[in-house]
């Protein structure tokens, strides 16, 4: 997978997350995020892997009944900003 492919897949996944609701995030979506985190690591995208992993953890906490509304929004926004930076050609501190 290339950086561009990862950026496209992450962007598409992020667009669909809010519509599904944070309480009903499917395990398959969390699994897909995990796969993308692994791909980011393979590509040397340390920041991308960290941001994706942080979002996965907060989703898991949320599914387990933890109240993490603010944490979900903060992590989702950070990952969205990262993806938009990639779209604009930013490659420093991947």
Predicted confidence (pLDDT) per residue in 32-86, tens digit = 999 999 999 999 999 999 999 999 998 888 888 877 677 888 888 899 999 988 8
Q: What pTM value is reported for the model?
A: 0.86
- Which pLDDT does position 79 carry in this prediction? 92
Q: Could you tell me the end-to-end alpha-carbon distance of the chain, in angstroms, rounded to an integer?
A: 15
Largest CA distance in the chain: 38
For residues 66 and 21, give the distance between their C-alpha atoms in angstroms, rounded to a whole number.
Answer: 15
For residues 54 and 90, give the distance between their C-alpha atoms in angstroms, rounded to a whole number.
Answer: 21
Is the pLDDT at 17 greater than 80? The verdict is no
């Amino acid at each position: 997978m290339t950086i561009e492919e990862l950026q496209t897949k992450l962007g598409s996944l992020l667009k669909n997350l809010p519509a599904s609701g944070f309480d009903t995030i499917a395990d398959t979506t969390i699994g897909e995020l995990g796969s993308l985190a692994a791909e980011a690591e393979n590509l040397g995208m340390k920041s991308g892997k960290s941001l994706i992993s942080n979002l996965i953890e907060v989703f898991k906490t949320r599914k387990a009944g933890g109240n993490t509304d603010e944490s979900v929004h903060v992590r989702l926004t950070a990952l969205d900003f990262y993806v938009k930076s990639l779209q604009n050609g930013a490659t420093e501190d991947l």
